[in-house]
Amino acid sequence: MDQYIIKGGNPLVGEVEIAGAKNAALAILAAAIMTDDTILIENLPDVRDINVLLEAISEIGAKVDRIDRSTVRINGSTIQDISVDYEYIKKIRASYYLLGALLGKYKKAEVPLPGGCNIGSRPIDQHLKGFRALGAQVDIINGAIVAKADQLHGSHIFLDMVSVGATINIMMAASMAPGRTIIENAAREPHVVDVANLLNCMGANIKGAGTDVIRIKGVEKLHGTEYSIIPDQIEAGTFMFAAAATKGDVMVKNVIPKHLEATTAKLEEIGCEVEEFDDAVRVVASKRLRRTHVKTLPYPGYPTDMQPQIAVTLALAQGTSIVTESIFENRFKYADELARMGANIKVEGNTAIIDGVPKLSGARVSAPDLRAGAALVIAGLAAEGITIVDDIVYIQRGYENFEEKLRSLGAEIERVSSEKEIQKFKLRVG
Ligand code: UD1
């Protein structure tokens, strides 16, 4: 099992290039099978979740041609199977996007019901409510969601809560449902807009993506196009906090600064300098940072996917901070790990109370999920001494070349898989 070994203490300094957005890419790959023409997708991140979804897509019969690391050509004309294997949904929940895509195109789909996951219970009732409103019959049979319709039709759908997944899944199916669909209380995340833009390039008629009311006029057919995925705001934010926590100076390139505003605002509030350029942001932290309060919210609020990263940074800031998680109930699993590094963090319900300490010290910790794993790496980079992060398979799900990018900023981090390699690293860093 791979681990990261880190010798902390180096401020991160330099430039880093951000990959395409994983969460946008997952939905975009699913949407790409909705036409029989070829779709060329650029700026695809080379991360585990994406590679698993590409396998799932090729397994149901689509042609998947990986031209290079960040470019793929997909042709959905050869799909013979509308049933997705449990193997894939087990590995990535977001393969449920194939439900909306297949239902829209073929009026039937069969996708195993995703189980719970390590950030909490994640129901998909709003997705199913949307499909039913569009005229599909949706049943759970032998652990799978089976959705079918003789014909879909437009509908007026009010989401009970803001859900990225439900908004995108319903938007995909509705784009091929005759008539008009209105999704109210829609998620406004940048990747909702990105998927709408792709579908519109494919001939769909979607208006209002990026606001809380999305209006869709169903079309009969979608066609081929070329599309480049937006930069990953969570990967970018992770590097911004890595710069802050290590008192570094990092230029984060290939980003859309507008998408990072909630992160930028918090970094400025705690004492970092953030300079915005057209497609880059520079984060400089020259002194000890200050406390703050933060609550996760749907976009444009502070993202839940950036919650562990800010908490780790606040663990080293002056004063008492309160971090409130309002999206997922089980997103503080890293707190005990962070405490093992000397942080003063106490979790009560959906709130973490953090009394900043002047320094953390290296320890052996385990990544409980993707973003918390990345946050523990940040903690290791900022800590004194050696940190070993176990279970980095979670981190590899969503960060392309994570350790290489960190090393290019001066971090001492290595991916290792044996005691011998750990000893070698320790000898090298002294
Ligand atoms: C997406 C992101 C994930 C991010 C999350 C919130 C992808 C692949 N994943 O997840 O990284 O953390 O948005 O920004 O894009 N809910 C229901 N019923 C539903 C759907 C959602 O109760 O049918 C609840 C969820 O349990 C959660 C909240 O709504 O409490 C938001 O979830 P949602 O926005 O759907 O998250 P995902 O799309 O799964």
Q: Is the CB of 327 under 6 A from ligand 1?
A: yes
- Residue of minimum CA distance from atom 12 in ligand 1: 305
Q: Is the CB of 392 under 6 A from ligand 1?
A: no
SS3 content of the chain, % helix, strand, coil (to 5): 35, 30, 35
Please tell me the distance between residue 96's alpha carbon and the centre of ligand 1 in angstroms: 12
Whole-angstrom Cα distance, residue 299 to residue 315? 25
Do residues 102 and 109 touch, judged by C-beta distance below 8 A?
A: yes
Q: Is the CB of 165 under 6 A from ligand 1?
A: yes
pLDDT digits (tens, 9 = 90+) for 392-420: 999 999 999 999 999 999 999 999 999 99
Q: Is the CB of 157 under 6 A from ligand 1?
A: no
Q: What is the pLDDT of residue 116?
A: 55
Please tell me the distance between residue 236's alpha carbon and the centre of ligand 1 in angstroms: 20
Q: Is the CB of 164 under 6 A from ligand 1?
A: yes
Query: Any long-range contacts for 200-206 (C-beta under 8 Å, 24+ apart)?
Result: 201/225, 201/227, 202/31, 202/34, 202/35, 202/39, 203/35, 204/175, 204/176, 205/175, 206/171, 206/175
> Which residue among the candidates 67, 115, 117, 404 is catalytic per the annotation?
117
- Residue of minimum CA distance from atom 17 in ligand 1: 123
Distances (CA, A) of 233 to 74, 163, 369: 25, 18, 18
Please tell me the distance between residue 165's alpha carbon and the centre of ligand 1 in angstroms: 6
Q: Is the CB of 155 under 6 A from ligand 1?
A: no
Distances (CA, A) of 347 to 28, 311, 330, 363, 377: 36, 11, 11, 20, 20
Record the pTM: 0.97
Q: What is the pLDDT of residue 117?
A: 63
- Residue of minimum CA distance from atom 5 in ligand 1: 164
Q: Is the CB of 161 under 6 A from ligand 1?
A: yes
**117 noted as active-site residue:** yes
Peptide bond into 300 cis (omega under 30): yes
pLDDT digits (tens, 9 = 90+) for 267-295: 999 999 999 999 999 999 999 999 999 99
Q: What is the pLDDT of residue 122?
A: 82
Q: What is the pLDDT of residue 99?
A: 96
Whole-angstrom Cα distance, residue 324 to residue 327? 9
Please tell me the distance between residue 298's alpha carbon and the centre of ligand 1 in angstroms: 9
Query: Who contacts 184 (Cβ-Cβ below 8 Å, separation ≥6)?
Result: 156, 157, 158, 159, 212, 213
Q: Is the CB of 123 under 6 A from ligand 1?
A: yes
From edge to edge, which strands make up the β-sheet containing 225-228? 63-68, 71-75, 38-42, 225-228
CA dihedral 66, 68, 72, 78 (to 10 degrees): -20
Please tell me whether residue 117 adopts helix, strand or coil conformation: strand
Distances (CA, A) of 84 to 35, 81, 110: 18, 8, 6
- Residue of minimum CA distance from atom 20 in ligand 1: 124
- Residue of minimum CA distance from atom 26 in ligand 1: 122
User: Which of 23, 96, 163, 302, when mutated, tests ligand 1's pocket best, judged by the most ligand atoms within 8 Å of its CB?
Assistant: 163
Whole-angstrom Cα distance, residue 369 to residue 331? 9
User: Which of 164, 212, 232, when mutated, tests ligand 1's pocket best, judged by the most ligand atoms within 8 Å of its CB?
Assistant: 164
Which atom of ligand 1 is found nearest the CA of 24?
Answer: 15
Please tell me the distance between residue 164's alpha carbon and the centre of ligand 1 in angstroms: 6
Count of residues in the chain: 430
pLDDT digits (tens, 9 = 90+) for 193-235: 999 999 999 999 999 999 999 999 999 999 999 999 999 999 9
Q: How do the pLDDT tens digits run along the chain, 430 residues long?
A: 899 999 999 999 999 999 999 999 999 999 999 999 999 999 999 999 999 999 999 999 999 999 999 999 999 999 988 898 888 888 888 889 999 999 999 999 999 888 656 776 788 999 999 999 999 999 999 889 999 999 999 999 999 999 999 999 999 999 999 999 999 999 999 999 999 999 999 999 999 999 999 999 999 999 999 999 999 999 999 999 999 999 999 999 999 999 999 999 999 999 999 999 999 999 999 999 999 999 999 999 999 999 999 999 999 999 999 999 999 988 999 999 999 999 999 999 999 999 999 999 999 999 999 999 999 999 999 999 999 999 999 999 999 999 999 999 999 999 999 999 999 999 999 7
Please tell me the distance between residue 5's alpha carbon and the centre of ligand 1 in angstroms: 32
Q: Is the CB of 60 under 6 A from ligand 1?
A: no
Please tell me whether residue 182 adopts helix, strand or coil conformation: strand
Q: Is the CB of 305 under 6 A from ligand 1?
A: yes
Q: What is the pLDDT of residue 115?
A: 63
